[in-house]
Amino acid sequence: MDTDNYVRKSLDLHLFFGRIMKEHSLFLKAGFTPVNFAYAERAEYFKKAFENLLYRAISLSNGIVSKDVLDSGEIVTDFTAIAERQTENFTGIRINHRLTAEELRLESSCEREQSSVNNGQIKNLNQTALRLLNGLISFKEEILRKVLSCEMFTTNYPLLIEHITREARLYRQYVIMLEEKGNITCKPMKETECFWNRIMMEHAMFIRGLLDPTEAELLNSANNFAKDYLALLEMCNNSNNKTLTSDSLNKTKKFRDFKVAGTMGIEQCKIRSIILPLLADHVLREANHYIRLLEN
């Protein structure tokens, strides 16, 4: 096993996906009605657990995290800290702001040798992630079953619950690869594009559905992005292993810019919507992550 690669890839993965999972848990909690307070408590458990996981990853990452990951905007953005404070105020759900502050201070330059982080520490971190992911995926699947059988109401779309479950499964798949092979086996680019073009399409659909009906121009833009990604997804699924990287990259850069403007507008209260500021920042970071994958 290439120890340095195993350590770096594991930390890169947790810095991105660990934050995504803790925010999924927050969004689930925020969407429950009072009658489902027990589910809100379970969501809070996973939020705190992934905050702890992320804290452990951050504490090991300085001087080790990949430069392209750190520079991509997938870990934190210029909007994250404000989005967290606003979302905490709007929902009453506590957020560990220290994590964002620590991530903003991370450096990729080798200020310490990677050997200072050993395989045992990373293996323990990965095993913790797998245990938490198994529980969170089961929790999301249970919520979806109850929503679809009219046993539960939540303000989160059923498609959003499916969406965040797919992301959790991808995270788990990558951690398993690291534990079994010491590396993340490269997926065919077509498979990666199909997955993330679907994620981007659904982001556009969610944005369209959460904007105020009076935001006609933004609604139209979100709808057009959804249509464009649907076309890319159909081409991807029928491309006989050919990639559409250039088309996907160009479209995702434009969508990223739309999300930047949207996040700014939501934080500044210039856009009418029921989009939490942290959700806006969340989908922006996922676009940044996808752009990095397409550019590498």
- DSSP-derived secondary structure for 199-229: HHHHHHHHHHHHB-TT-HHHHHHHHHHHHHH
User: Locate tokens 């292993």: which residue?
Assistant: 241
pLDDT for the residue numbered 242: 64
pLDDT for the residue numbered 114: 47
Domain at 187-296, CATH from 1.20.1260.120, 3.40.50.11540, 1.20.58.1690, 1.10.357.10: 1.20.1260.120
Cβ-Cβ contacts under 8 Å for 230 (sequence gap 6 or more): 201
State the pTM of this model: 0.95
Q: What is the mean pLDDT, run by run of 10 residues, along the chain of 296 residues?
A: 84 98 98 98 98 97 92 97 98 97 85 65 96 98 98 98 98 96 82 94 98 98 98 84 82 98 98 98 98 94
pLDDT for the residue numbered 239: 67
pLDDT for the residue numbered 111: 46
The CATH number given to 1-185 is: 1.20.1260.120
Spatial separation of the C-alpha atoms in residues 157 and 169, rounded to whole Å: 19
Residue ranges, comma separated, of all CATH 1.20.1260.120 domains in the chain are: 1-185, 187-296
Can you give 98-154 as a three-state secondary structure string? Answer: HHHHHHHCCCCCCCCCHHHCCHHHHHHHHHHHHHHHHHHHHHHHHHHHHHHCCCCCE
Q: How many residues in total does the chain contain?
A: 296
pLDDT for the residue numbered 110: 54
